[in-house]
Amino acid sequence: MATRIDELEARRHQARLGGGDKRIEAQHSKGRLTARERLTVLLDKGSFEEYDMFVEHNCSEFGMETQKFPGDGVVTGSGTINGRLVYVFAQDFTVFGGSLSERHASKICKIMDMAMKVGAPVIGLNDSGGARIQEGVASLAGYAEVFQRNVLASGVIPQISVIMGPCAGGAVYSPAMTDFIFMVKDSSYMFVTGPDVVKTVTNEVVTQEELGGAVTHTTKSGVADVAFENDIDALLATRDFFDFLPLSNRHPLPDRPCSDPWDRIEESLDTLIPDSAAKPYDMHELIRKTVDEGDFFEIQPNHAANIIIGFGRIEGRPVGIVANQPMVLAGVLDIASSKKAARFVRFCDAFDIPIITFVDVPGFLPGVAQEHNGIIKNGAKLLFAYAEATVPKITVITRKAYGGAYDVMSSKHLRGDLNYAWPSAEIAVMGAKGAVEIIFRKDIGDPEKIAARTAEYEQRFANPFVAASMGFIDEVIMPHSTRRRIALGLRKLRDKQLENPWKKHDNIPL
């Protein structure tokens, strides 16, 4: 028996070495942790239970039968984050560059299947050169098996991808179908085709970082959600982020003890809105003064910054927050911001996370580029997302809510449960100047008449009371009591029941 135990320990030691000391040193020299080191940071100490440590590839082409490593380039298993179950896989770049083989894929599929059975999130740490070329179509089949599970798990268990190295070709599509993607600056890349192929096909010269680096994908493309400075930052942030999510769509929301009074009054919010409607203010201030202890985890902060999305807590329970940002493009809705917010709203709805919406929106962004690139269909994505959502929805209009954008931003007409407005709210078809120039077109040549008409329009419509008189606003509230009203509202809505008509699935305007 002692001999067998010694053999087990020797085999385990060999598996933990991955591709060997030299390749581990090469990984460290790039500022990257190894797959196992990453899992040590991500998971609670001593909680990781590994599966399939001794699995090897089954390829015999191109001399591969002589090159075998236990684990075959991916570490899989389960553990806990702050005591809550999670399934994980971490690709090991020291073994065949983390490339995906048939057996490598089957290991990932196994933990995804287990996560679905018990109802627990999956976190993937991606660091892979792509499909293992020596295996040909078998590796492509492995990717497709993973893709199928991503789709079936969508909306059932949270899926998080942390890109910690290269992620190219077919490898990018699995992260793309997960709920959130985090990246590491100057270290991780995502692209369907790399710089060399781009140069050959289109004659464009571009670096890896410019083509698919963390900054590119968190600012321009919106493919990724947040870019972190290094592996440690990314993994610790993932731990924090995990605490906002339920284990599955069958589990309750996590509940954290909170010492922040639910009825805390924030007098400073009474002066947040500037005297001039043309002056911006930072919506982050309102968000942080409303949520528990100012703790707000923002998603995609550098992409489509005219809308803010992210998670906070009220009375210790997670909420999703969507807010127009007057500091960027005056908070207008455009193609990028509509898509960004729509996907977030649908995630919250899938996992029963209440949605808080702060509204200061002058309308949709006009322009030829917006129209030609589909602002109609893309704006409809956000409208569709809010309209189909059955979770508790609380809306607070702080200033402007003009035109169709008023409707889209979780209005009472899209089954908003509680719709509040501050006294500074202006709810109308459009701003006073534009409205007067249309209604009183014949008086445009008379500045005095136009000024008088504008003042009259502002007095009659640039306020929340017309909408309140029609029941479209439940109450005009004082800004300083915003947290208290939201907390009370969420208490009342905790047992809300609302179901959409039966359907196989909807047909959101993609």
Catalytic-role residue among 71, 169, 310, 403: 169
What does each C-alpha distance from 307 to 204, 334, 353, 404, 420 come to in angstroms? 32, 9, 19, 16, 19
The alpha carbon of 453 is separated from its chain's Cα centroid by a whole number of angstroms, namely 45
Q: Is 342 exposed, middle or buried (0-12, 13-18, 19+ CB in 10 A)?
A: buried
Give the per-residue pLDDT at 170.
77
- Sign of the Cα pseudo-torsion (304, 354, 505, 501, in order): negative
The whole-angstrom separation of Cα 404 and Cα 364 is 8
The whole-angstrom separation of Cα 157 and Cα 134 is 33
Helices (H), 168-320: 173-176, 195-202, 208-212, 214-219, 231-242, 283-290
The whole-angstrom separation of Cα 319 and Cα 354 is 5
Structure tokens given for 469: 């008189």
Check residue 63 and report its DSSP letter.
G
- Sign of the Cα pseudo-torsion (448, 452, 457, 462, in order): positive
Catalytic-role residue among 71, 97, 142, 170: 170
Asked if 228 and 302 touch (Cβ cutoff 8 Å), the reply is no
169 is catalytic: yes
SS3 72: coil
pLDDT in tens, the chain (510 residues): 777 887 778 777 776 776 678 888 888 988 899 999 999 999 999 999 999 887 776 655 665 666 666 778 899 999 999 999 999 999 998 887 788 888 899 999 999 999 999 999 999 999 987 777 667 788 889 999 999 999 999 999 999 999 999 888 778 999 999 999 999 999 999 998 888 888 899 999 999 899 999 999 999 999 999 999 999 999 999 999 999 999 999 999 999 999 999 999 999 999 999 998 889 999 999 999 999 999 999 999 999 999 999 999 999 999 999 999 999 999 999 999 999 999 999 999 999 999 999 999 999 999 999 999 999 999 999 999 999 999 999 999 999 999 999 999 999 999 999 999 999 999 988 777 777 778 877 777 777 777 777 777 777 777 899 999 999 999 999 999 999 999 999 999 999 999 999 999 999 999
Instruction: Report which residue type is found at 20.
Output: G
> HSE-up of 502 (CA within 13 Å, CB side)?
0
Catalytic-role residue among 194, 316, 404, 434: 404
Catalytic-role residue among 227, 336, 405, 435: 405
404 is catalytic: yes
Asked if 215 and 227 touch (Cβ cutoff 8 Å), the reply is yes
* Residue 443: its H or E element: none
